[in-house]
Structure 1
Amino acid sequence: MTLLQAKDITVTAGAERLLDPVSLDLPAGRAVTVLGESGSGKSLLAQALLGTLPGGLLAGGTLTVGETRLDPARPQGSRALWGRAIAVLPQEPWLALDPLMRGQRQVAEVHDLVAGDPAPDDRASADLAALGLEGAGAKYPWQLSGGMAQRLAFAAARACGARITVADEPTKGLDSDRRDDVLALLRRGLEGGGGLLTITHDLTLAAGLGGEILVMQGGTVVERGSAERVLAAPEHPYTQALIAADPAHWPRPDPMPEAAPLLRAERFTVARDGRTLFAPLDFTLSPGQVLGVAGPSGCGKSSLGNALLGLLPHQGRLWRDPAVPKLAFQKLWQDPPAAFPARITLAEGLDDLLARHRIDPARVAPLLDRLKLAPDLLARRPAAVSGGELQRIALLRALLLDLAFLFADEPTSRLDPVTQALTIRLMVGIGRETGMAMVIVSHDLALLEAICDRVIRLMPG
């Protein structure tokens, strides 16, 4: 039985075609996974199928969901299927969750209003417990770590048991244990006769789901086939580069020579609600050095970096070189959409930064080129830029301030492996050249071990 059939799906912006024709079938009990670089058209394909394309973009082709035939050019017809026939796991949980509603209520509302369940709170509580979110039900999304917010969005999307699931980067920001949990949940849905369309950068997830893989580049499917064949014997050069970009294959960096410290922490920890988040730490960071921080979701990784920047109170001693201005200590946010004004273009935001800090505008173009960003991206608003492109623009914005210290919170969680390799090596290279020290948080231990002078694994306090 075929749950979803898409034929010659395209996306255009006026006379420009952004997505070449893509056809796919989603049989019951099977997975289709779409891999590709940021801006390759993966999310455009998913949005065209769901009827959620941004204004100004037009989908074409034909789409059949179950027995219902839909016209992608008229997306209103797809919306009646949301939650009932199609569950959507969003790429950005912060944008999908209501910041003014507690976690359990968000899941219970789906059970109540969409499924008509007579005991929505009980069902919501069980859903959260199954994802290890027992304590998150009473909290607001902004009180949760990125990984916990992702799992909350997962619980809300899957609350009504739709047979088709469209998952946009479902393991983004999750540690390996939680990623395995999500993989198990997705596979359980397949075993029950569901279908899964996944947009992901996670090669491990793609291998675990099996089924069919489509590899996209520049709005075109450049390779497709069984997951086993594509991942073991890729034929297209881009697919080969995608797989070779695994951090486990990267050469280890040369250690930075010791220098006068920029920052020193002694018996350093952070408490929240009377609870110590992690065991006290001792470390020193010199110019150009990179410190990696790993650990499970909710263990305090982001809180550690925020405390080093003076954004949270801490316990223990923290010394920062008093000769370095406070502005030279900055943060690269885990969720870049939350760090950009939504209603102005990226160029307007950069112009404000340049004017406020009297920065030469001529510095922008070389950084755009070095980060492999098209200048015309700056004419768009944040919502019209892919997650990977937006993260690199956030990095550009930070580098304009001539930093001495950068706290990078999951800086590559939105990047495909090839772009991740490019971006993270660029960050480390700039740090080495300019003497910018970095603390990098990541759930990817292999990535940290490939780029950092030292890696700390946080343990509960």
Structure 2
Amino acid sequence: MSNRDMELRLDEIVDGAGQRVVGPVSLHWNAPGDACALIGETGSGKSLVAQSILGLLPPNFRARGFIQIKQNRTSLSDVAALQAQWSTLMALVPQEPFRSLDPTMRIRRQFRQVKGSNDVRIVNALTELDLLPSVGQAYPFQLSGGMAQRTLFAMALISGAPLVIADEPTKGLDETRSAQSLAALRRLRAEGRSVLIITHDLDLARQLDGTTVVMKAGEAVETGPAQHVFTNPANAYTRELLQADPAFWSSETERTSPAQNIVGELRRVSFGYRRQTPLFENVSFTINAGEVVAITGPSGIGKTTLGDVLLGLRRPTSGSVLWQGSDIATKSGLVSSLRSRYQKLHQDPGSVFARHRTIGQHFADLADIIDPATVTERMDKLMQTMRLSSRLLDRTVDEISGGEAQRLALMRILMLAPVLIVADEPSSRVDPIVQRDVFDLLGMVREQQNVAIVLISHQARVVSTFADKVIDLKTVCG
């Protein structure tokens, strides 16, 4: 038995075909309150490492090795034993919060179902994450992506588990909310609870301190104290990863001013739920073909909802939505004819793929919308551009990473020759290198195909580099 407080020895993870996809990876926490951050390549298996600990690997995937928490050593092949340790020895803050919340139950009831919960712990956790007073009475569908993520973080705080695993804990959060997540992680450490985070947020990994593990192609290519890895990286891939951080992006990008060709417009649009304060009121703006408009503001202010209103996915409480000069509320024929060309790149890209079908089957469906003779050729070209393996086409969405799902969702949209794309946090699930590539691709589409892009983002550096104009909902609604 190891003298370390906690240890993971992951020899390998193999997929349904028996092919190794991750391993070997070794992590250790020498003392209570230690932290370990997994960073690196999108699709390199970071989330699979966490899933192997929790006994939550996709169907037909198998892990070999062990996890030791305190004096409890469990084989990674013993799924039932791993799952029996939830909330008692380990707690999870997952990457896709809405999949983990019961849509039929108010949040406060879900808090009370956490093992070890009591009123004091619930109130303290909510206060720590600035979630009082409205969240407890809300249903999950009434929460923004950021609020849902913080709700699950509160559940992890409520449990007394000695190991907390947080998968992308700052994904989609503004700077204030990200700082709150970092503060919560530090609080856990101060209480002697160890932390494992999986993140593309390099600044989070740097500030959390502890041990940083850099992964590429399923293997750990560099491991060391965070400050050493970030200031003196030894591996070539680590150096490339750090240089791709948006902090190093040039803001001198030349952009051609788009011609006056309005493809989308909001006129004094308001939205709110019955008997609740409106999310936003009297928002107006236009977007031209080839223009990038960024929508910014704090988590939960209604950025995603505003994008949905522009796409006709939600009805505004008041005001008008126009596509190419026509009010979509009175032009149902126009909406039907243009629907495939007004597209959304979701904050949760996995939600656009049915879980029981392969990715390849989803792309085959596009032959009903576009010229069947061009589907394969366009797919091959885009997969090369997006750095995607053809092996992914044989997998379901549960068998791919969040970053791979994001790139596949964008690829599907681009095959439809869109007029306007609402990109909701399009780089929140990808590593900095792929993030740079995604924005390069969106920029190319904007320039070469004259596509309008509505960018919803919390990343100030990305917005200042990429957008032609910015709509700050806090200012508009404040």
TM interval, short-chain normalised: over 0.9
Q: Is the Cα–Cα contact under 8 Å of residues 258 and 290 in structure 2 kept in the other structure?
A: no
User: Are 1:397 and 2:385 matched, yes or no?
Assistant: no
Q: Which residue of 2 aligns with 1:131?
A: 129
Aligned to 1:419, what secondary structure does the other structure show? helix
Q: Which residue of 2 aligns with 1:56?
A: 60
1:19 to 14, 19, 22: 22
Q: Which residue of 2 aligns with 1:10?
A: 12
Cα offset for 1:70?
A: 1.4
Q: Is the Cα–Cα contact under 8 Å of residues 104 and 121 in structure 1 kept in the other structure?
A: no
Distance 1:58 1:284, change over 3 A: same
2:338 to 326, 333, 341: 326
Give the TM-score, by structure 1 length.
0.93
Aligned to 2:20, what secondary structure does the other structure show? strand
Cα offset for 1:193?
A: 1.3
1:74 to 52, 75, 78: 78
Cα offset for 1:366?
A: 1.3
Which is worse superposed, 168-177 or 51-60? 51-60
Q: Which residue of 2 aligns with 1:304?
A: 306
Q: Is the Cα–Cα contact under 8 Å of residues 2 and 28 in structure 1 kept in the other structure?
A: no
1:341-368: per-residue Cα shift (whole Å, max 9, x none)? 1111111122223224545323222112
Q: Which residue of 2 aligns with 1:174?
A: 173
Cα offset for 1:299?
A: 0.6
State how far apart, in whole Å, the 2-side matches of 1:77 and 1:389 are. 30
Cα offset for 1:235?
A: 1.9
Q: Which residue of 1 aligns with 2:331?
A: none
Q: Which residue of 2 aligns with 1:451?
A: 466
Q: How does 1:78-227 map to 2 (within 5 A)?
A: 78-110=82-114, 114-115=115-116, 120=118, 123-134=121-132, 135-227=134-226
Cα offset for 1:408?
A: 0.9
Cα offset for 1:175?
A: 0.8
Aligned to 1:275, what secondary structure does the other structure show? coil
1:202-254: per-residue Cα shift (whole Å, max 9, x none)? 11111111011010100111111110111112121111111111223222332
Cα offset for 1:423?
A: 1.0
State how far apart, in whole Å, the 2-side matches of 1:191 and 1:126 are. 15
Superposed CA RMSD in Å reads 2.0
Q: Is the Cα–Cα contact under 8 Å of residues 457 and 463 in structure 2 kept in the other structure?
A: yes
Distance 1:317 1:52, change over 3 A: closer
Specify the code of the residue in structure 2 equivalent to 1:259.
Answer: A
**Structure 2 stretches lacking a partner, 5+ long:** 327-333
Q: Is the Cα–Cα contact under 8 Å of residues 128 and 184 in structure 2 kept in the other structure?
A: no
**Structure 1 stretches lacking a partner, 5+ long:** none
Aligned to 1:394, what secondary structure does the other structure show? helix
1:432 to 435, 444, 447: 447
Specify the code of the residue in structure 1 equivalent to 2:73.
Answer: R
Specify the code of the residue in structure 2 equivalent to 1:144.
Answer: L
Q: Is the Cα–Cα contact under 8 Å of residues 295 and 457 in structure 2 kept in the other structure?
A: yes
1:116-159: per-residue Cα shift (whole Å, max 9, x none)? x5xx4564354334322221222221221100110111122332
Give the TM-score, by structure 2 length.
0.90
1:80-128: per-residue Cα shift (whole Å, max 9, x none)? 2210111111111121111221111111111xxx22x5xx456435433
Which is worse superposed, 147-156 or 125-134? 125-134
Which is worse superposed, 273-282 or 28-37? 273-282
Q: Is the Cα–Cα contact under 8 Å of residues 103 and 141 in structure 1 kept in the other structure?
A: yes
